[in-house]
Structure 1
Amino acid sequence: MTINRAALVASLMTLVATLATVAVPALPYTRGFAPDWVTVVATLLGALFTVLARPIAIGWIAALGLLWSASGLVLDCFRAFFWVTGIPAGDFSQVDWAGMLVRALSLAATALVGALLLRRTRAPGGVWLGYTAFGLAFVYPVAKLYWWLGGEILRPTGFDQGLPVGELAAMAIGAVGSLALVQSWGRRLPRRLVLVGGWTGAAALTTMGSLAAFGVLADVLGVTDGPIDLVDTAGLVMVGLIYGSWLLFGLAVGGATLAYQQATAPKVRHGV
């Protein structure tokens, strides 16, 4: 199956799933997620772009709409983990299964429509993008470590979490992975391993980061009533620091991965 056909199928499957689940009540944690009409429009534009392959603006609009529709999938997965394992987590173990299905399909459609767009895109400066990603890997984990140590600046109300072991481990993986994309030793690693790690990280980070970015923008424009209090300056700054760093981190990782993929692509030999 070609990428065009796969992107068309993914877009149409997302459209069908959205229309089939539109009447299913959503859980409160999805407040501020992409409205159903955004997903419908994005899937239609995505399908149109896979057929026409132009204008390219349609593809970018579709990709952005699908990315917004996929936002929140990582949160769904965390909640599903607690639901499956039975680890006590209160309301955090409740999952919007219908919405999760739509968001998973939206992510697949985002990746496939994005692949069509990236065919026409040359990554600018993969080296600086990789080092930018390396720096951004520290923002969120260091902030949580600072709050754990008692720091008060932008400290969330009622913050009482323990040592952020998971975040620090993710920081180490993200930092090393970012360097692997741009340093010579990364070229000695299995190419597929580096690409899978890069694109997986980019997908997870951009979906989480775009959740807040699109949510705040939609709230400001009156499209949705998001969970963020727009008059809470400290809260907005904190959300921008955390989710904004994730979004920038994901975009930097994605750009560096694209540059790595293009630079390490097997050379095609032409017969004489």
Structure 2
Amino acid sequence: MTTLQNSPTSIRAVRPPSRLLPALALTGYLAVAATALVRPWLPALSPEHDYATRYGYATPAWVSLAAAAAGLLTLVVRRRRPTGRAPMLAGAAALVLLLWASAGVVLDLFRGFFWFTGIPAGEFGLVDWRGAVGRVAAAAALVPTALIMLRTAAPRSTDRAPARWPALVAAGLALVYPGVKFFWFLGGTFARPVPYPEGFPVAESVILVGGVALSLLLMRGLQSRLLHAGLIATGWLVSLVTLNQGMLPIFGMINYGLGGPMPAAVAAFSGSGWMTAVLYGSWAALGVFLVIATRNSRRRTCR
């Protein structure tokens, strides 16, 4: 008992992991593998409406199978050795492959909303069900896998409060994409795609306000436990969304190297392809720093 009291690590940090997360992860891996195997028999969109192929995130089926295998390996290794290098490496591979297999799920859900509600949206009401079911399954498996990996990480001393600066970095990164869109809307021509038919950046305004507000709230925290729990859940969700969107060109270029088409997000900028890296890279970086900020905010409430 004395050893626990004198240890710099809190009891909460070394508690045994819940069995719920591995069960959810296992269910997710089986769903990812199943959707990859049945993909050839699912209905496909016509070539002119196949947005997943056009945007370069029609991921090969073997990526989903590899993600499921890496996830299963993570559970097996972690059961035998809860901490250490082996479970961390297996888990990192599973996270990358699941993120790759789920790339584009945000756009699938966006289109699925219009399909379900029947709101007239033209082509945006069409859903690539053949690929969408696999991307949704991979995204669903990604969540418990990420939470398991957060618990697998070596416990840290609670003598010092978690840093708040990652939240400030996230707030700054949340300004990049909306700022560029406002610059182009106001007449700026530097690195602007031609043609550029977009009007006032309404969605980008919401992203700007929401991203900055979320980051600052994660840094400050909320007094109510219930509200703070909702804030943490929002942080994890937005982290997944921004990472998923930000990594689209990278996974699209990998798919292109494997024989797929050039991603439309890259081709749209023609000679200013570096701007694609800046814009989407800001999303990916925002996701990374939101993960850190969300975890730090959660650790502060557990002290």
TM-score of the pair, normalised by structure 2: 0.79
User: After the TM superposition, which of the residue ranges 142-151 and 76-85 deviates more from structure 2?
Assistant: 76-85
In the TM superposition, residue 55 of structure 1 has moved relative to its aligned partner by: 3.5
- Among 209, 213, 216, the alignment partner of 2:250 is 213
Q: CA deviation at 1:136?
A: 0.7
Aligned to 1:10, which of 19, 22, 28? 28
The whole-number CA distance in structure 1 between the counterparts of 2:258 and 2:131 is 22
Alignment correspondent of 2:261? 225
Tell me the alpha carbon deviations over residues 156-179 of structure 1, each in whole angstroms, 9 at most, x when there is no partner: 222122211221122111101101
After TM superposition, the structure 1 = structure 2 runs for residues 95-174 of structure 1, keeping only pairs within 5 Å, are: 95-121=127-153, 126-174=163-211
Structure 2: gaps spanning 5 or more residues: 1-18, 79-85
Q: Distance in 2 between matches of 1:157 and 1:172?
A: 28
Once the two structures are superposed, the pairs formed by residues 57-76 of structure 1 within 5 Å of their partners are: 57-76=89-108
**1:104 CA displacement:** 1.1
Deviations 1:1-26, CA, capped at 9 Å, x for gaps: 52112211111111112211234335
Q: Give the alignment of 1:242-253 within 5 angstroms.
A: 242-253=279-290
Shift in Å, 1:49: 1.1
Letter in 2 for 1:68: W
Q: Which residue of the other structure, out of 62, 68, 92, is the alignment partner of 1:43? A: 68
| Bigger Rg over Cα | 2
1:201-248, Cα deviation, whole Å (9 max, x unpaired): 1011111111122222443x44533323499331x2232122111111
Provide the C-alpha distance between the structure 1 equivalents of 2:163 and 2:286, rounded to a whole number of angstroms.
Answer: 14
Instruction: Please state whether the residue corresponding to 1:55 is helix, strand or coil.
Output: helix
Please state whether the residue corresponding to 1:154 is helix, strand or coil.
coil
- 8 Å CA contact 2:193, 2:268 repeated in 1: no
2: CA distance between counterparts of 1:78 and 1:51? 35
Superposition pairs for residues 80-91 of structure 1, below 5 Å? 80-91=112-123
Which residue identity does 1:136 align to in structure 2?
L
* Cα distance in 2 between the residues matched to 1:126 and 1:84: 42
> Structure 1: which 5+ runs fail to align?
268-272
The CA distance in 1 between the partners of 2:167 and 2:199, in whole Å, is 30
- SS of residue in 1 equivalent to 2:219: coil
Contact 2:87 2:152 in 1 (8 A): no
Partner of 2:51: 29
Alpha-carbon distance in structure 1 between the residues aligned to 2:290 and 2:64: 25
Q: Is the 8 A contact 1:22 1:36 kept in 2?
A: no
Work out the CA distance in 2 between the residues paired with 1:251 and 1:97: 29
Name the SS of the counterpart of 2:222 in structure 1. helix
Identity %: 32
Aligned partner of 2:9 in structure 1 is none
Closer, same or farther in 2 for the Cα pair 1:126/1:18, shift >3 Å?
farther
Distance in 2 (alpha carbons) for counterparts of 1:226 and 1:263? 44
Amino acid at match of 2:127: V
Aligned length: 262
Superposition RMSD in Å:
2.3
Which residue, out of 77, 84, 93, partners 1:52? 77
- How far apart in 2 are the matches of 1:112 and 1:78? 23
